[in-house]
Amino acid sequence: MKELQQGFATKAVHAGENPDFREGATGDVVVPIHLSTTFAREKVNIPTAGYEYVRSLNPTRKALETKLAALENARYGLAFSSGLAAETTLLTALLKSGDHIVAFDDLYGGTKRLFNHIFNNYHIGVTFVDATDISLVENAILPQTRLIWIESPSNPLLKICDIAGISKIAAARKLALAVDNTFLSPYFQKPLDLGADIVVHSSTKYIGGHSDVLGGALLLNSPDLYEKLQYRQNAVGAVLSPFDSYLTLRGVKTLALRMEQHQQNAFLIANYLRQHPKVKKVIYPGLENHPQHALAKAQSTGFGGVLSFEIAGSRSDAEAFLEKLHIIALAESLGGVESLIELPAAMTHSSVPKEIREQVGITDTLIRISAGIENINDLIADLEQAFD
């Protein structure tokens, strides 16, 4: 029978979770949580259905990996215990002592910490550049460079990279290009289709979507790299548990619905903020005054649910504003159904030295909002009373 082409929302619900109608099976619509840590076999040399031990392969985790790969238009997917576990496994698979990374200067603080304070101990160098200018990316490449690492949109300044343009540079130099797609999710952007080699996700964010499960993922098309990554994941044990795999499977089924509402609320909040007299600047790729608005529109199908703004005044003014909010939670992270707000200089990017933060553009009054799916009138009212 000819395989039907499926839309994103259909794949989000069904990929990796086809009911099993074989004799003895129950036809579960939802893939079961397989908690067994080991799998019995009838023959010494033949693992049952390929399963040996939970760290190596697990049916619930495999279902999630299949679903995420389908959503990113990837051949292979791997689910990890956190986004940083995914990043660490990828870096160990691609790099050795003496190698070099070219990275965006505006990255998640945990990624910068990993580069600057963990992998630098193994003599792996990194050069940070403003990757919105692809000539700076190309000029930073050294003979020992093996990897280009970008986020688009970036965290927390929401800068946009030309993924297709950078992928051509990487391909010409035989370098790997990794793109952190956490902010837009596969619903709004598919970096592999634009030429990237690896897509990275903190599935804790939009993919899980409910602020109740930690996880990460790598999606890719290369069979050789997949085999290498799978080996290292098993060797270091950075796997997502069966129960967390189930929670993530459950969350991702509503990704299409949630992303539309996140984006709608983000647009309305951004437009409210840019007219407020106590706001100096609003940063959201969906606004036409964003420097890379046209690029964002060209390479993505949406702009996401995260925006940043600078409040007028001092850091103490920013802190006072944040502490007066009632509905919007003052908390790190993003991508959950509830709206979250934070001060990057004091929270997500506090591990980045102040002079580096300011050089990149992360001021003490820059505030990041992850717009949730609540009633927009309630969110605007909460912001208004905090300003007052």
Catalytic member of 76, 108, 187, 246? 108
Reported for 200-203, long-range contacts at CB under 8 A and 24+ positions apart, including other chains, are 200/83, 200/86, 200/87, 200/90, 201/68, 201/83, 201/86, 202/82, 202/83, 202/108, 203/68, 203/79, 203/83, 203/248, 203/252
Catalytic member of 11, 62, 146, 205? 205
Domain boundary among 252, 273, 293: 252
In a domain, 209, yes or no: yes
Is 108 known to be catalytic?
yes
Domain boundary among 252, 286, 304: 252
Residues 266 and 245 grouped into a single domain = no
- Report in angstroms the alpha-carbon separations of 302 from 20, 259, 283, 292: 36, 9, 15, 13
Residues 184 and 270 grouped into a single domain = no
Considering only CA atoms, which of 209, 211, 376, 386 is closest in space to residue 309? Answer: 386
Q: What is the pLDDT of residue 1?
A: 42
Residues 196 and 237 grouped into a single domain = yes
In a domain, 300, yes or no: yes
CA angle, 158 then 160 then 165, to 5°: 165
- Report in angstroms the alpha-carbon separations of 136 from 161, 166, 291, 356: 12, 10, 17, 18
Residues 203 and 266 grouped into a single domain = no
- Domain ranges, residue 13: 8-252
Residues 215 and 266 grouped into a single domain = no
Is 55 known to be catalytic?
yes
Is 22 known to be catalytic?
no
Residues 265 and 239 grouped into a single domain = no
Assign residue 209 the CATH number of its domain: 3.40.640.10
In a domain, 3, yes or no: no
Assign residue 293 the CATH number of its domain: 3.90.1150.10
Residues 243 and 302 grouped into a single domain = no
Reported for 28-31, long-range contacts at CB under 8 A and 24+ positions apart, including other chains, are 30/249, 30/250, 31/59, 31/60, 31/63, 31/246, 31/249
Residues 25 and 146 grouped into a single domain = yes
Residues 177 and 266 grouped into a single domain = no
Q: What is the pLDDT of residue 195?
A: 98
Domain boundary among 252, 287, 316: 252
Residues 209 and 298 grouped into a single domain = no
Is 180 known to be catalytic?
yes
Q: What is the pLDDT of residue 352?
A: 81
In a domain, 337, yes or no: yes
In a domain, 215, yes or no: yes
Number of domains into which the chain is organized: 2
In a domain, 1, yes or no: no
Q: Which residues of the chain have pLDDT under 50?
A: 1
- With 0-12 / 13-18 / 19 or more C-beta atoms within 10 angstroms meaning exposed / middle / buried, residue 87 is buried
Residues 173 and 278 grouped into a single domain = no
Q: What is the pLDDT of residue 3?
A: 57
In a domain, 212, yes or no: yes
Residues 161 and 74 grouped into a single domain = yes
Catalytic member of 55, 113, 232, 280? 55
CB atoms within 10 A of CB 127: 16
Residue 201 one-letter amino acid? H
Helix, coil or strand: residue 366:
strand
In a domain, 336, yes or no: yes
Catalytic member of 106, 180, 364, 382? 180
